[in-house]
Structure 1
Amino acid sequence: MSVIRSAGLRGFRATVAELGGNAEEYATAVGLPTAALDADDLLVPDHAVAAALELAAHRLDCPDLGLRISYRQDLDMLGPLALAIRNSPTLADALACSSRYMFVHARSLSLGLTADPYGDPGVVALRYDGPPDMPAPVQGTDLGLGFVHRAIQRLVGERYGLRSVELPYHPPAPLRAYEEFFGAPVRVGRSAAILRMPRGLADRPLSGGDQQLHRLAMAFLAEQTAETGTSITPRVRAALRQLLGTTPPEIAAVASILSTHPRTLQRRLAAEGATFAALLDDVRREEAHRYLTTTDIPMSQVASLLGFAEQATFTRSCRRWWGHTPTALRRAEQSTLRRAEQSTLRRAEQSTQRRAEQSRQRREA
């Protein structure tokens, strides 16, 4: 199973609603958690995202749905990668870090510069590839290529010299819709999804960037995505946090996210003195404490978000973790917060009274 951050669905709910549809209905029909429609950092199957886009386009009779959604997306959806892109010295640097770290956003997507398919020495091809094990989904590819096009416009200017757009399918939408969107000729039935740009564009400096921020962002990405010679335990914890509430937190699912075999993952964890069950329990405990002390989410929903099949199982876990039921823990925390708030208010009132008294004494003097 290949996954993508739910940020890739930004704009889906609003666009579907604008067209008179129900985004939650389409998500449920293809097995997507409805929470993914409003959150950025859930990990969801990329094939389900593609299926939701295709289903919505069909039900709403909107063949250019992917292009429409791309209007509502921006670089921020890429998280720390966006920081590295925005602060890159040149467009070539921005594209290089995108190519290197695109898998942080979606493991099955790739982006890279290649030679022009027509052999024009003054043109370079920016190729966008989706999952290698499935035909290019029309709406998903339209959305991804549209997002890349608009990101380049924001970085270097609306008219960046796009020569043509190559599509690996015959889209159901009229070609004029694509040509109006991209502002360039569109060719269909080609070998890959490509934006053909002037070769010199890649060397154009980007304005407003900060080299220090770029270095920090790149260092952070490198640290977070290192694949060899580093501990597997933090990566398992991170994967579990993103799976909870969307996919059963099983070792097979985590192994798939980390591109390894479940038995290999077990061996690596054992070498670090950890077990999958213990890590899952720790992550559940941490997330449970956060939900219980910072939100008013109903207990049944908290149990579901933690991947428990029943609320009773969640209650037993809370007794094991803290010696209290989840309700008792929430009440105790709320009581502590109320006391802290009352204390803060009293101090504020006393400070106000002191300032008023000092002001009165100055006037009398």
Structure 2
Amino acid sequence: MAVKAFTLSQIAWYRTMSDAFRQRGLDADELLVKCGVPIGSTDEMDVNHLSDLFSAMWELAVTLTGDPSIGLTRVVHPLAAFGVVSHMLLSSTNVLAAAKCLARFAALVSPTFAMDVVREDKHYAVSFAISGGRRPVPMQRFDFLASVFLAGAQWITGKRLVPNVMHVPFPEPADAQPWREAYGCPIVFNASSFRGEFNIADFEQPIPTSDPAIADMCVRMTEQAAQDMGDHFTGKVRQLLTRILHKGDPRREQVAEMLCVSERTLQRRLSEEGTSFAELVDAVRRERAERMLARGFLSVTEMACELGFSDPSNFYRACKRWFGLSPSSLRVTQ
């Protein structure tokens, strides 16, 4: 399958990570060398390689600092590396509008994660998913996503944004106090996904620098920047699948509608990039299944639901095809 190639110099998220590492006395380029990764800022890699690289860097950062909460580090200027995206956020009407823009253009910040913003009853829910790679994604990568989001919201509003509750898909650390202090709210560990719930009023608070005309211009510029960067169609579909998989078996017509294209165009553009809709659904499911099975704290039925399978028996057959073992056996052997 043809996958878009990236260089580190193109990735705003790498520069943001570098700032966080610098605050903790670490050098991102040195981390690359110590990880044994023969990659430079202009060397090309696909999204799977990039995701594995980021995971390796955070794992090594934990080892070098002895601090498992290092992902909670708040960079001084959280949106400084985002370029035109930062201007788009600053000119948005309110936090909700800015969050939706960030979710829309997440691939421009980094092709390795997806973001979703939805209203659920009496709150807004913001969820993050990290896709790609064969290496288990460490907790610190999710921590850093939340840290930048919260710091960015404070940067553009001048007020601290505090979740009502955070859901974290990892076991509770031996000392969870740094997480409680960073989020300022109750935390549900061993959750099925990484998400925060926020007051409606907090998300509807205006941004002081809001300007509709500038916001429209920034959106157009951001769309052009995404095209110039080669924001490939396969990556968009993968990120969308990562966001909606837990809602049920993804349908091609549903995804085409969400991407504002016809089913025929969806099929044609994926074919041009060497893949198909069915292959992408299968690949995203397999990647998420590997990570969930490695953690082992969800039941087989819960994992089947998170992967969008309508029947756990379908998940069973998929595991046999992917790994040669049943999901129950894999949970035992992890």
TM-score normalised according to structure 1 size? 0.54
Matches within 5 A, 1:203-242: 203-225=204-226, 235=228, 238=229
Task: After superposition, give the CA deviation of every residue in 1:150-197 in whole Å (9 maximum; x if it has no partner).
Answer: 112223343434211111112546211011112222221111111210
Q: Take 1:80 and 1:111, find their aligned partners in 2: how far apart are those partners? A: 18
Q: 1:91 to 1:75 in 2, by over 3 A?
A: same
Query: Match for 2:29 among 24, 40, 49?
Result: 24
**Aligned residue for 2:63?**
58
- 2:129 is aligned with 1:129: yes
Q: Is the radius of gyration larger for structure 1 or structure 2?
A: 1
Which of 36, 45, 49 does residue 50 from structure 2 map onto?
A: 45
Task: Please tell me the root mean square deviation across aligned C-alpha atoms, in Å.
Answer: 3.6
Q: CA deviation at 1:79?
A: 1.6
User: What's the CA shift for 1:209?
Assistant: 1.9
Q: Deviations over 1:35-64 (max 9, x none)?
A: 48xxxxxx9712201211112212321211
SS in 1 for 2:169: coil
Other-structure match for 1:198: 199
1:143 aligns with 2:144: yes
Which stretch shows the higher mean deviation, 7-16 or 51-60?
7-16
**Do 2:92 and 2:212's aligned partners in 1 also have CA atoms closer than 8 Å?**
yes
1:110 to 111, 114, 118: 114
Gaps of 5+ in 2: 238-267, 275-334
Aligned residue in 1 for 2:285 = none
For residues 184 and 110 of structure 1, the distance between their equivalents in structure 2, rounded to whole angstroms, comes to 23
Distance 1:198 1:20 in 2: 36
- 1:77 matches 2:78: no
- 4+ long deviations beyond 6 Å: 254-263
Structure 1 residues 89-127: Cα deviation after superposition (integer angstroms, max 9, x where no partner) = 1222111211111111122312222355xxxx3222111
Q: Which residue of the partner structure matches residue 242 of structure 1? A: none
Cα 1:59–1:179 change in 2 (3 A) is same
Give the match's secondary structure for 2:144: helix
> With CA pairs under 8 Å and 6+ residues apart, which has the higher RCO, 1 or 2?
2
Corresponding letter in the other structure for 2:82: L
| Distance of 1:263 and 1:200 partners within structure 2 | 44
SS in 1 for 2:206: coil
Deviations 1:277-305 (CA, angstroms, capped at 9, x unpaired) = xxxxxxxxxxxxxxxxxxxxxxxxxxxxx
**d(CA) in 2 for partners of 1:188, 1:97:** 28
> 1:294-333 residue pairs with structure 2 within 5 A?
none
Alignment of 1:265-276 (within 5 A): none
Do structure 1's residue 264 and structure 2's residue 272 form an aligned pair? yes
Moved more, 15-24 or 44-53: 15-24
* AA of the residue aligned to 1:50: S
Cα 1:102/1:223, change in 2 over 3 Å: same
Q: Quick one: which amino acid aligns to residue 124 of structure 1?
A: Y
| Percent of pairs with identical residues | 15
1:174 equivalent to 2:175? Answer yes
Task: Calculate the TM-score normalised by the size of structure 2.
Answer: 0.59
User: 1:214–1:182: structure 2 CA closer, same or farther, 3 Å change rule?
Assistant: same
Q: Check the 8 A contact 2:90/2:156 in 1, yes or no.
A: yes
The one-letter code of the counterpart of 1:84 is M
Letter of the structure 2 residue corresponding to residue 27 of structure 1:
L
The 2-side partners of 1:225 and 1:127 are apart by 22
Aligned-residue offset at 1:22:
5.6
